[in-house]
Amino acid sequence: MTQSSLAVAVGGDWTLLNASPDIRAQLAHTPALRPPTRRGSPIRAVVVTNGDVDHIAGLLTLRESTPFTLHATAATHTTLQANPIFGVLNPAFVTRAVQRLDQPFAPVEGLEVTAFAVPGKVPLYQEGAEVETRLLGEQTIGLRLSANGRVAYYIPGCAEVPADLLARLGDADVLFFDGTVWDDDEMRRTGTGQKSGARMGHMAMNGSEGSIAALASLTCRKIFVHINNTNPVLQPGAERDALLAAGWELGFDGMELIP
């Protein structure tokens, strides 16, 4: 809910989807992810969907000389390599693998992952004077996860749902989707900032062009994740009731899904 990370288990091996700034707390509150000995981890791979601080800052916590493979697009790897602090990920233990769009790969045995472009923008710290919020390329990706005959999609950041993206999601059993804001202008209305959701590269949940309407035809299980603290669905009320009535769930920290 509050940060954008998921962990996926296939057998005894875990794959982490994004490494959020609070990853240490997440690991401490998830017994299956705790070190089995003084050092060590069941996490065998980390897959990063873009270079946002929300998605990469936790990598600095995963530097305890425990082997894993870091998967990202070439564009995101370039971003990480440009900042020398990520050199703490010792290459003797952390292998960096390039994700190519629309080419399946297996971060662990039994799990197939396919990265695909979704509309978005470059990370905040890379923005220039002109910002394109609906870039389509390696800057922002979604992930298709397939294991044991089940399919999940993880899209923690998305600026719009074009027809081809909606069609792609047709085989989903479960969808985790960007739930940052309820209304596009809620940050301005709440006095917490001047940017709209669209300016930040996020769809609003609500409205005729919002994600609830755009994804209404999907019959899979649909879960909003990565909720901004301005979003009224965090509290009981009309907005949460509308979300639930539309067939969506609100993800929460510590949520577990068992096939």
Per-residue confidence (pLDDT) for residue 4, from 0 to 100: 82
Question: Per-block average pLDDT, block size 10, for the chain (259 residues)?
Answer: 89 94 90 82 94 94 90 96 94 95 97 96 83 87 96 96 97 97 93 88 94 97 95 96 97 90
pLDDT of the residue at 66: 86
| Rounded (10°) CA dihedral 226, 228, 234, 235 | 180
pTM of the prediction?
0.94
Per-residue pLDDT, 65: 83
pLDDT at 17: 97
Q: How far apart are CA 13 and CA 111, in angstroms?
A: 10
CA atoms within 13 A on the CB side of 170: 5
Element (H, E) at 163: helix 163-168
DSSP, collapsed to helix, strand or coil, labels residue 74 as helix
Residues 6+ apart with CB under 8 A from 45: 15, 16, 68, 69, 70, 71, 107, 108
Give the chain's domains with CATH numbers: 6-250 (3.60.15.10)
Return the pLDDT at 196.
87
pLDDT number for residue 63: 87
Say what the pLDDT of residue 147 is: 96
pLDDT at 221: 97
Q: Given this model, what pLDDT does residue 162 score?
A: 96
Structure confidence at residue 201 (pLDDT): 86
Nearest-10 Cα torsion for 215, 198, 80, 99? 30
Query: Do residues 179 and 227 lie in contact, with contact meaning Cβ atoms separated by under 8 Å?
Result: yes
Query: Which DSSP state fits 148?
Result: T
Cβ atoms 243, 224 nearer than 8 A:
yes
3-class DSSP state for residue 60? helix
